[in-house]
Structure 1
């Protein structure tokens, strides 16, 4: 399994297009959204400045990009090419393949988080305590596993032709409705009620709580755990189903 993880990491790091969208793109969006905001401009209802709020949102968005986009399309293509079937002929257990995919995606997501933090600190002068930087990195990185599991599930659910539109709809829908691109407080009340139950909203809320020197809300943590169980369970079921068809 370690060899497969190394292979997955090597393939991901060689994919320049993937690295651009998962590492550079979120930082560019951060500068685009927060670049013109003043240092004291705050987001209503949060007490956070635009820069600190959007820093967490874009770091979360970058991690989401890395684990969701990377897993879903690659798995669907590997199923069609016969690579997954070949792996089943080896001693590698099914869970090893899923773990390798999740682990490699999680490793690649870390640079996207760190780059957004560096840009926010140097360009927008975001200042936090040392423990907050460490806690933010850990919370956003760990939370990305929820979407890594979703990526695996989509990869086993969709064919090679259908996986991209399904992934893009899921990707942009969760990002926009979850409040990663713009504060959910700007949404109509009915849309805010929907956003509060989305995994991306709870995901970003982890970091926002840490920025406010607070513990993450139990509701947000519970939501992410529930979504992880659902996505991981769905991925496991789809993997077994795909194995029976092979």
Structure 2
């Protein structure tokens, strides 16, 4: 290896190291920024815990839904509700606000690659969602005495966490709206509407046939259904994986198309 080649290799390594540091710094900044957002903490953490305590306290502790204890069943519902809200409302509002303020345009003239910006958003939100899942499970176990096997705790938690990526994709789609005030309204309508229609607030079993059919179209239903199914000892929900994957691809493609159109204009 001659001196020129060696210099190029070292330069390439130095550039990659710099990019990695910049990406990690961006992820850290996104985490701190999100955690300082009172609205995010309220809707994604405090509200799911509050609703969980309210609805499990007003129902008979021995009640069951589809053969599953009510406290455990509703735990999965409210955990799904929390991570879905984080993806839809928090991510959409951040993306819309940053575009309005010209932050995304500014990043294009910095050394930070575009992929690092996207990865920082997804990684920080995914980490926060994981913390939300763990917090909900710990609260339910110690405050409500929810007793599940280690396998069910882990499998249902991973299911909800991985399923939350569908709602990050949806959040990125809602975030393509240029007006930040409109984004706040739309994100809340989508979030609350999908949560109610998808059976996260009330069991799908209590709905009419028409409402059940509507629920089966909601990504929120499939997010909760996989976890509910595990509680009942059911097999891994591959159909749910397919549905959520389709939603991820669809939301991502549509938002990418809209962004390209906006940038072209």
TM-score with structure 1 setting the length: 0.93
Alignment of structure 1 residues 67-106 onto 2, 5 Å:
67-106=87-126
State the SS of the aligned residue for 1:162: helix
* Deviation sequence 1:115-139 (CA, Å, 0-9, x none): 2212221222111111111112111
1:4 corresponds to which of 26, 29, 32: 26
Q: Which residue of 1 aligns with 2:203?
A: 183
State the SS of the aligned residue for 1:167: helix
State the SS of the aligned residue for 1:169: helix
Q: Which residue of 1 aligns with 2:253?
A: 233
1:35 corresponds to which of 57, 61, 64: 57
Q: Which residue of 1 aligns with 2:9?
A: none
* Deviation sequence 1:147-205 (CA, Å, 0-9, x none): 00110111113421211111111011110000001111111111101111211000101
Runs of 4+ residues deviating >6 angstroms: none
State how far apart, in whole Å, the 2-side matches of 1:159 and 1:175 are: 24
Q: Which residue of 2 aligns with 1:157?
A: 177
Q: Is the 8 A contact 2:100 2:178 kept in 1?
A: no
Which deviates more, 70-79 or 16-25?
Answer: 16-25
Q: Which runs of 5+ in 1 are unaligned?
A: none
State how far apart, in whole Å, the 1-side matches of 2:177 and 2:113 are: 20
Residue 238 of structure 2 corresponds to residue 200 of structure 1 = no
Q: Which runs of 5+ in 2 are unaligned?
A: 1-22
Q: CA deviation at 1:60?
A: 0.5
Q: Which residue of 1 aligns with 2:19?
A: none
* Deviation sequence 1:20-61 (CA, Å, 0-9, x none): 221121011001111122332112xx2112111100000001
1:167 corresponds to which of 180, 187, 190: 187
